[in-house]
Amino acid sequence: MKTLICTTPGSFEYTEGEKPELKKGQSIIKVKRIGICGTDLHAFEGTQPFFSYPRILGHELAGELVDFDDAVGFEKGESVTFIPYLNCGECIACRSGKPNCCSNINVCGVHVDGGMVEYLSVPSSSLVHGEGLSYDALALVEPLAIGAHGVRRANVQPGEFVLVTGAGPIGLGIMEFARIAGAKVIALDVNETRLSFCKDKLEVPFTVNAMTEDVAQRLKEITNGDMPTVVIDATGNQKAINNAFYYMAHGARYVLVGLQKGDLVVSHPEFHKREATLMSSRNATRQDFEHVVSAMKGGKVDPTTYITHRVLFGQVKDEFKSWLDPANGVIKAIVELD
């Protein structure tokens, strides 16, 4: 089977590999769609922390279930996606119902080889029913589930002002599920094209450009002086993360979905006087995946909105580098396989 390997930063190579053999507790998916995410782009750039090469990238997948062992309730030929966070099942997080932050986690396409292949073997326990959704839609379940998980961590309530910093694919998913939760969403970014996408495609009611506006003043105007009661970061940018501590209402919750390698820097008195709550949000759980699938089926989320670029598997090596350029306007690139 054809396989695409990221051999070193900035370099891909197509190879021919063996189709995986069915093993106990595993299922084999014939890959039909691969979504390209920030993790893949950063790995290609060489800026992904704790990453080793060579590596087969790809964890936003949809495909046909062609064989399985112990996949109760599934049928051969069914359209599926899967949860790509391979947990140990034994650590304190797993025993506490939080496999998404397993202390021994292996993320498909990051810590172990991923889905830029024609056939992929995955744990049967990780399968998610397609529920009649298209392969395009199913390839977007995972990134949207990350957004849904962040919103759930924040315990967003109807009528709250929720500030989402960063209007990339993960941030857009956060906005969608904050809206579904009944929030009044505010998008903050430095890219006017992405802010326009928020307004025009997702109908986000409020947008703020951090490059051209006084952010704190604009937020006061939007929230009638209160400031947002929930702030969710999806930038992974150290300056943006640190700045957003000052955008919280008193009593607010701040959830970090984005990740950066530096330190958090905040005035302790400013944080303390707000009696603010700081949380991280990592990956997603089956509950989040099923919430996303249900939202898609119910017409609350249109996954095709996000797809701006589409290529065949054989074109990825030539096209991938172009997706790093913001001028190309990539929201979500999708790879198609036969």
pLDDT the model gives residue 260: 84
Q: Which residues are CB-neighbours of 45 under 8 A, at least 6 positions away?
A: 9, 10, 324
**Residue whose C-alpha is closest to residue 40's, from 24, 32, 51:** 51
Instruction: Give, as one character, the DSSP assignment of residue 205.
Output: S
Using the predicted structure, report yes or no on whether residue 75 has a pLDDT greater than 80.
yes
Rg of the chain in Å (alpha carbons) = 20
pLDDT the model gives residue 51: 83
Distances from the Cα of 332 to the Cαs of 124, 136, 148, in angstroms? 27, 11, 17
Using the predicted structure, report yes or no on whether residue 185 has a pLDDT greater than 90.
yes
Contact 321, 46 (CB under 8 A): no
> What whole-number distance in Å separates Cα of residue 226 and Cα of residue 250?
8
pLDDT the model gives residue 338: 84
Contact 281, 259 (CB under 8 A): no
DSSP letters, 84-146, are -EE--S-SHHHHTT-GGG-TT-EEBTTTB--S-BSEEEEEGGGEEE-TT--HHHHHTHHHHHH
Helix (H, G, I), strand (E, B) or coil at 246: helix
pLDDT the model gives residue 327: 87
> What whole-number distance in Å separates Cα of residue 12 and Cα of residue 14?
7
pLDDT digits (tens, 9 = 90+) for 86-133: 999 999 999 999 999 999 999 999 999 999 999 999 999 999 999 999
Contact 82, 127 (CB under 8 A): yes
> What whole-number distance in Å separates Cα of residue 83 and Cα of residue 11?
27
pLDDT the model gives residue 5: 97
Amino acid occupying residue 17: G
Largest CA distance in the chain: 61
Instruction: Give, as one character, the DSSP assignment of residue 228.
Output: -
pTM of the model: 0.95
Q: What is the mean pLDDT of the segment spanning 165-194?
A: 97
What is the average pLDDT value for the chain, to the nearest integer? 96
Using the predicted structure, report yes or no on whether residue 50 has a pLDDT greater than 80.
no
